A and B are shown apart, each in its own frame.
Chain A
Amino acid sequence: MEQTVNPIAQKTSMFGTQSQTIAFVVLVSVLLAAPFVTYPPFLMECMCFALFALAFNLLIGYVGLLSFGHALYFGWASYMSAHAAKDWGLSPELAILTGTATAAVCGLVAGSLAIRRQGIYFAMITLALAQMMYFVALRAKFTGGEDGIQAVPRGHLFGVLSLDNDATMYGFVFVIFIAAFLFIYRVIHSPFGEVLRAIRENELRAISLGYKTDRYKLMAFVLSATLAGLAGAIKALVVQIASLTDVYWPMSGEVVLMTLVGGLGTIFGPIVGSFVILAMQYKLAWMGQWVLVIQGVIFVVCVLLFRRGIVGELANVLRIKL
């Protein structure tokens, strides 16, 4: 949230600032090299969560809206994509599209309700609506209740390329992830993104300048929900299961944590945050319920001492923009 660097003072390049170009190159090279070092399914899951966190950050970091119910879009997209791939037999790209479209519609409905109230109420409304859709998922027939939708087929991309091979699947997820990242970057640095930031800084002033801020907020909300849905839809194919965990409230809390740890309102923060949190969950899985306590402690420490997050602190120390 804190803007400490003067962007004009920096050399600009094709990617905005030089530091961002370097960070982007590092990101791409790490993601290309990582599967040779680490387990690819873990990395694919990381990319899904990173995209989820990027989508969430679009709202909190750039419009200043805290949605505490993003599991709704992630989880429901995951269900619909799994359902489309398994029960309707759609090819993976159409299954993902189905899931993403579901999230977009949910986002439109929930968003138009939630933006009717400001500040803290916004968070409570999004949380309550997500909880409602959790109960719907619990009751609905096609979701399989407690079992979820299991053994989701990855299928053949465009009917040709089999995704059962982890290497191919990795390439597919990587391409979508990078494309979505560049898209989000573009949105943030477009005139639309500037208006969003103006709303975050001073909504009344934006209104007085003639912007229909409600419309901008809704558009940002739908965009964020759709991208969160894209992440959920891919995840269903990556881990081949869609379950209640993805749509339950702790998932909404997790994406907040990832973004907070990485750095609210930074471009690369959500990616770093989600990799850190997921790695922590894998490493500490043996500790069982204590992981919940550790996550709580991270929340407390981040809010009290570390509000810029990892990337935000780094950018602050190096006096660059990330």
Chain B
Amino acid sequence: MFTIFGVPSAVLFGQLLIGLINGSFYALLSLGLAVIFGMLNIINFTHGAQYMLGAVAAYLLLNVVGIGYWPALIIAPILVGASGILIERLFLQWLYKLDHLYGLLLTFGIALIIEGVGRNYLGTAGLPYTLPDSLRGGNNLGFMYLPNYRAWVICVSLVVCFGTWFAIERTRLGAYLRAATENPTLVRAFGINVPKMITLTYGFGVALAAFAGVMAAPIYNVSPNMGSELIIVVFAVVVIGGMGSILGAIVSGFGLGVVEGLTKVFYPEASNTVIFLVMAIVLLVRPAGLFGRRT
């Protein structure tokens, strides 16, 4: 062990690791928000609640049905994604012609409903989720101790983030998606079922949030409030990165997680506020966001 700027390396790298973990969740969630916003023109305030639903689904699968972490990683996002498709068909589809703000208000209302129901049945204390044996333990890297699960979360998030980027920017389906974002009427004229694509996009974005929730379950306690605070931070991340670019969402998500982690080491008092401060500075210097196009 050694010290950097008077800080023991284990502390510094430990916080950096926590920063990267938080950054993975910021990246996954802001990615979902950006994808949904691109197609639906709606800011999905329910995103935090759907992240929480993912964690709750994993918890219930384990403790009620007896299905472990690995299947839950697939099943929970599918379940929550399906509920998202239901929300889109029942509610959101009526709002596309209206002002953006109604979409925000509606999804805020749905978030309140989900969180309220969660608080009634789960309590606010938080429930622990036990890790699978295969992901326990960790390695001593010399300068820090790396728990296996945390390494796993970072790697999987990176893979999922870049997989999404690849699917949207480099595949045929992604090309349809981008085209429909630019000009839905024209794409429809080419015989592509745009409304169905919109529904599936929402389902996919929601599933992404739920996936992040399953991965978060063993790290944080599963509680009904876990999404609401996180989603506000993610909003700030989205303002900083701009929603125009998928890569921008990923980079700013991880980057801001690291910034937050470093702040915890050097000036812990500001660790809760630093992302918001960065947002204020970005708004002053580059109002369109770091990766955004000027609107």
Residues of A within 8 A of B (CB): 1, 60, 64, 66, 68, 113-114, 116-121, 123-125, 127-129, 131-132, 135-136, 138-139, 249, 253, 256, 260, 288-300, 302-304, 307
Contact = CB atoms under 8 A, between A and B. Distances in A.
Contacts of B288: 117
A10 B236 CA distance: 46
Nearest to A65: B101
Interface in B64-110: 91, 94-95, 98-102, 104-106, 108-110
Given A118-B295, A127-B232, A307-B102, A300 B277 contact: no
Contact of A253 (B37, B108, B276, B284): B108
Interface string B100-125: 11101110111111111101100000
A98 B173 CA distance: 58
Contacts of B200: none
Contacts of B273: 132, 135-136
Given A123-B43, A136-B273, A296-B109, A249 B284 contact: no
Contacts of B114: 296
10 smallest beta-carbon distances between A and B, as pairs: A299-B109, A296-B112, A292-B116, A296-B113, A132-B276, A293-B116, A128-B236, A116-B287, A124-B235, A135-B272
Interface string B142-175: 0000000000000000000000000000000000
A113 B236 contact: no
A117 B287 CA distance: 7
Nearest to B106: A303
17 contacts: A68-B104, A113-B280, A117-B283, A117-B295, A119-B101, A120-B104, A124-B235, A124-B239, A127-B235, A129-B280, A136-B273, A296-B110, A300-B106, A302-B105, A303-B95, A304-B95, A307-B102
Given A297-B109, A299-B106, A120 B101 contact: yes
A128 B116 contact: no
Interface of B: 37, 43, 91, 94-95, 98-102, 104-106, 108-117, 119-120, 228-229, 232-233, 235-236, 238-239, 269, 272-273, 276-277, 279-280, 283-284, 287-288, 295
A293 B117 contact: yes
Interface of B is mostly: helix
Contacts of A128: 232-233, 235-236, 239, 276, 279
A259 to B, nearest CB: 10
B110 A300 contact: yes
A290 B279 contact: no
Contacts of B228: 249
Contacts of A249: 228, 232
A293 B130 CA distance: 29
A127 B232 CA distance: 7
Nearest to A121: B239
A118 B99 CA distance: 13
Nearest to B274: A132
A105 to B, nearest CB: 15
B257 to A, nearest CB: 16
Chain A CB within 10 Å, residue with most, of B91, B99, B228: B99
Contacts of B233: 128, 131
B284 A299 contact: no
Contacts of A307: 98, 102
A125 B108 CA distance: 16
A256 B105 contact: yes
Nearest to B87: A300
Contacts of A260: 105
Given A66-B104, A249-B232, A253-B112, A290 B43 contact: no
B106 A304 contact: yes
A131 to B, nearest CB: 5
A119 B100 contact: yes
B276 A299 contact: no
B291 to A, nearest CB: 14
Nearest to A124: B235
A300 B113 contact: yes
Nearest to B235: A124
A298 B232 contact: no
Given A118-B295, A136-B273, A303 B112 contact: no
A147 B155 CA distance: 42
